[in-house]
Amino acid sequence: MSFAGLPGRRSRLASGQLGLLTLALALAVAALARPVLPLSSEVFRHLIVFDITQSMNVGDAMHPDDVPTTRLALAKDAVLEATAALPCGSEIGLALFTGHRAFLVLAPVEVCANYADISSVVDAVDWRMAWAARSEIAKGVHSGLTIAKALGPTTSLVFVTDGHEAPPLHAELRPRFSGDRGAVRGLLAGVGGPVPVPIPKLDPQGRNLGHWGADEVIQVDELSLGRPTDIPESYAGDETGDVAARIASGTEHLSMLREGYLRSLANELRLHYRRVGDTVDLKQALQHPELANDADVSRDLRPLLAGTAALLLAGSYLLSGRWRRGRSAGTSRPEQGVPVPAGVPDRA
């Protein structure tokens, strides 16, 4: 075996190792400076409003073998998964709806840097936060649109609800939106099943006390009931006998996804509608192209620099192993045996 050229080879290996170490160190130092790269990207800025009224405590089984999941629990899970799937640079704000208005609890914040905080707020959302025992959905959506508009022109509204108005609305006398329709983009996200289900009656500790009965809820819109006088009178064009029949056959103590109503309300306000049957539905809805905003997003280069530095260190380690093996081979000696007397041919 010839060992000619090993010193030069070892020198090249050592030089290559030193170069990799130097470059890895330079990248590590650069990462410490927190470099960012501005890129043009599509991002989203949503105000998500949770309906926390009592019908959202209904457990719906979408399929016969499913374990019923409350609408509010499904909404919270869907929002967290959809938020986690949004591109960095997107922002999420949170609000609650009950009574006739929405209430902002978290102004929009960037999703990647603040996901833990967003998750904590969503996890804390509970029906016991409700401040009124009413569910005037249309007025709540109007309120949500007003808040979203105040948060800036790039903010879209995502109102998650089952669409159950309580008390019910008069078909011809629905609330009118005083704002500019279409000025705020967004969608109504419908949760709930297609089958009417009793609404749980819960105490402040969350214990189930049964279900709301037909005689415990308002079965017709308040305008049809007329003014509170001693003399019965019709109001809003309804006859007293018709109102009595509607009350007797009312099903407002049962709840289901009012999909037709939500679609109609969405069309009226120039919003999208999306049914949330599972968490994937909302994930797709929140990234609808019509809700996207073009923005310059700063990409953090630290993971790229640190990863490249680690690869260079690994390459340096491999070169170091080859250098040690070459050095060992260059300094080894042939095995010495019995001396061969002078003049005797070497048979080896």
Q: Which of 29-43, 75-89, 235-249 has the lowest mean pLDDT?
A: 235-249
Q: Would 289 be classed as within a structural domain?
A: yes
How far is residue 225's CA from residue 71's CA, in Å, rounded to a whole number? Answer: 31
Assess if residue 318 is contained within a domain. no
Amino acid present at 119: S
Residue 207 within a domain: yes
Would 58 be classed as within a structural domain?
Answer: yes
Residue 20 confidence (pLDDT): 72
Q: Which residues constitute the domain of residue 190?
A: 39-217+252-299
Is there a domain that residue 69 lies in? yes
The CATH number covering residue 108 comes to 3.40.50.410
What local confidence, expressed as pLDDT, does residue 12 receive?
62
* Average pLDDT of span 216-244: 63
Q: Which of 172 and 89 is assigned the larger pLDDT? A: 89
The answer to whether the pTM exceeds 0.85 is no
Number of compact structural domains in the chain = 1
| Assigned domain for 48 exists | yes
145-156 pLDDT tens trace: 999 999 999 999
Q: What is the model's pLDDT at position 296?
A: 63
CA atoms of 48 and 94, how far apart (whole Å): 5
CB 135 within 8 A of CB 102: no
Q: Is residue 341 part of a domain?
A: no
Residue 348 pLDDT class (50, 70, 90 cuts): very low
Phi/psi of residue 221, each to 5°? -65, 150
Q: Is the pLDDT of residue 134 over 50?
A: yes
In a domain, 163, yes or no: yes
Question: Which range, 31-45, 158-172, 314-328, has the best average confidence (pLDDT)?
Answer: 158-172
* Pair of tokens at residue 179: 């704002």
Helix %, strand %, coil % of the chain (to 5): 40, 20, 40
Please state, in angstroms and rounded to a whole number, the distance separating the CA atoms of residues 34 and 208: 53
Task: Give pLDDT, residue 311.
Answer: 82
